[in-house]
Structure 1
């Protein structure tokens, strides 16, 4: 009876890899800190540097993690269902809550699924990435083509924030790179073979470079969501800058993967499992502080550092079990009511579930040509 119950429930979930949970926590913390110090960048040079020096550990790292755990198999009924309930439904739910929050502040309704609010663009891009991956892997040079598209999309002035189109294209190389870590053992082994001291040296060098370029590096360039014309870039300047940003991000994220401990780290690993909660919920909190003009009152270095410390500490609250239990219907809603029963999904046919088609009698079946491969005939 117990075995039958396990069969009905499906295969047991694989144990989570602590290394990737640690990376996820750092990515979520970086995104939260980056948004918390954004209002302070122009006033405090070290906040401007911190944002520039850490951006690649945020969204690029999240994209890499998502690619690492994404399959390139065609989206069957079950996989498509998980895409709907695991990403699309939270996107709609959090968009609605965000709109209600903004309405409570200024009494204007801003609900839109076309132009994602705050960090929700990543969820929308993630849907497109997962849908595109089975087709992208059929290309001869998928990584090179994805980088080329990320560079050339800057010339298209009509591709921007709606549907998260620009960022979907520009950050896809990070997503695909994560998929390569999953599928190419040689690539994953090469990253793992890099000495930790070398990864630390690269990270320090990139942080130092960000300090040297602090006055000339605009955080808007790092978002890669606006066309080159919006940044007054000519061809000779826009493409090299974006190419350097992409290369910078790739090197930094791979160095992060090498530096992060592979073992379970108290607090960090457990909070990493709640990385999406931290990512999705923190804009709702920051919106409240913007509404009361909290950041406008910060005028000393000590106060700015206090904001930074509170931002890091808030990850513990947002990733805590009570907050997860309270917000699970929003971040991880149960969407089974939205889907057809598993036995009626398209990939449940042909012996993989559901009711198989009635067998054809031998007399009604055409004879296969002599020497033909029976497996080549699909029923």
Structure 2
């Protein structure tokens, strides 16, 4: 942008692009920004450690807690209308919140070699590993030896990694179109009324959740600041209250499968036109509740802030306990279905996923979640030229968020 107070032709030096990240992939570290101010010598602050953005780490941690609680509540929904109502409310916003943050930190993603490598090692490889391990777990824990091992049919939680891989690859396209959100919403609507898409790569979820990722792509830092205004925080209280009351009314009248976005309307035994109505209605409701959720997320550093860097670990690892509790009949007893039992189940779910996000767990499973795999990739020409010249690699800076 030309500065009118400067001589004609003066232009501000553009800020470097934001780093990539997603809420479930530490291979990209979006909120780790190099805030190294230049001194008169041009070198001061160059070695200053990178700072993470506490708001986004807090949001990711709280969202993963809601994910774990939602999975813990699922077996209770058949016997408790209140549990079903809370389940529907949480499912309206917890994955959209994750996906919006993921899209926000994918704004600078392109087909650059190093970013493609991180996409493979940080998303594709963990998908392959966990899909295989989950399949074996299903065979033995559920006594289901016929359960197939197929990388084309994601089981349980691994669909998110497939979706993240596809969304990231589509990012350059949505960055150049004029109306990215309406385009993504149109794709989601068409997917919801297309039963022939099938289950391959869980494409229904990939396409129906796509608008939230694109919303994140077009968001700017000031949008997150806007939802954290005092009046929004206050308004979020009655909004969540109304949503909970409405969900309590809707619980016996509406299938919670609508919130999974994994089926077409024909598979839900609904008329085709309801796919248009429900996709648009749920998109609007999810955006409102997600904004209310962001309004309540603390901006300052909290005791759980550091756990936001390990949400991928908590997300994928807690699935073994969530599914195992069904396979092993833990919810077949009466006590978990009592009010005190439901509270205890909620607390256990929150504690377990919190532990799974801690640094010791990250160190233990980093070889799976963030493998380096340098052996699998050719070295780029620039790195080879630097080695021959004996010059250190140029440090990439990123704008602080």
Cα distance in 2 for residues equivalent to 1:147 and 1:353: 45
Match of 2:121 in 1: 85
Cα distance in 2 for residues equivalent to 1:26 and 1:288: 23
Match among 214, 219, 223 for residue 260 of structure 2: 223
Match among 56, 59, 65 for residue 101 of structure 2: 65
8 Å CA contact retained: 2:109, 2:115: no
Structure 1 stretches of 5 or more lacking a match? 1-6, 357-379
TM-score (norm 2): 0.78
SS in 2 for 1:137: helix
8 Å CA contact retained: 1:89, 1:335: no
- Deviation of 1:193 after TM superposition, in Å, equals 4.1
SS in 2 for 1:274: helix
**Greater Rg over alpha carbons, structure:** 1
Match of 1:174 in 2: 212
- Deviation of 1:17 after TM superposition, in Å, equals 0.7
Cα gap change, 1:28 to 1:185, in 2 (>3 Å): closer
Cα gap change, 1:190 to 1:286, in 2 (>3 Å): closer
Match among 134, 143, 153 for residue 98 of structure 1: 134
> What RMSD over aligned residues (CA atoms) do the two structures have, in Å?
2.5
Match of 1:364 in 2: none
Cα distance in 2 for residues equivalent to 1:124 and 1:208: 34
Match among 73, 81, 92 for residue 37 of structure 1: 73
Q: Does 1:139 align with 2:177?
A: yes
- Deviation of 1:174 after TM superposition, in Å, equals 0.9
- Deviation of 1:164 after TM superposition, in Å, equals 1.9
Q: How many residues align?
A: 340
Cα gap change, 1:279 to 1:187, in 2 (>3 Å): same
Moved more, 332-341 or 221-230: 332-341
Match of 1:207 in 2: 244
Q: Deviations over 1:18-68 (max 9, x none)?
A: 111111012111111111221221111111111101113321111011111
Q: Deviations over 1:303-362 (max 9, x none)?
A: 232212211121222122332222222222232222222x34xxx49x996889xxxxxx
Q: Deviations over 1:98-131 (max 9, x none)?
A: 1222233323453111111111100100000000
Cα distance in 2 for residues equivalent to 1:177 and 1:257: 14
Moved more, 214-223 or 117-126: 214-223
Match of 2:52 in 1: 16
TM-score (norm 1): 0.83
Cα distance in 2 for residues equivalent to 1:187 and 1:74: 23
Cα distance in 2 for residues equivalent to 1:100 and 1:320: 26
Match of 1:255 in 2: 292
Match of 2:235 in 1: 198
> Equivalent residues in 2 for 1:40-51 (5 A)?
40-51=76-87
Structure 2 stretches of 5 or more lacking a match? 1-42, 390-401
Cα gap change, 1:24 to 1:352, in 2 (>3 Å): farther
8 Å CA contact retained: 1:160, 1:225: no
Cα distance in 1 for residues equivalent to 2:363 and 2:356: 11
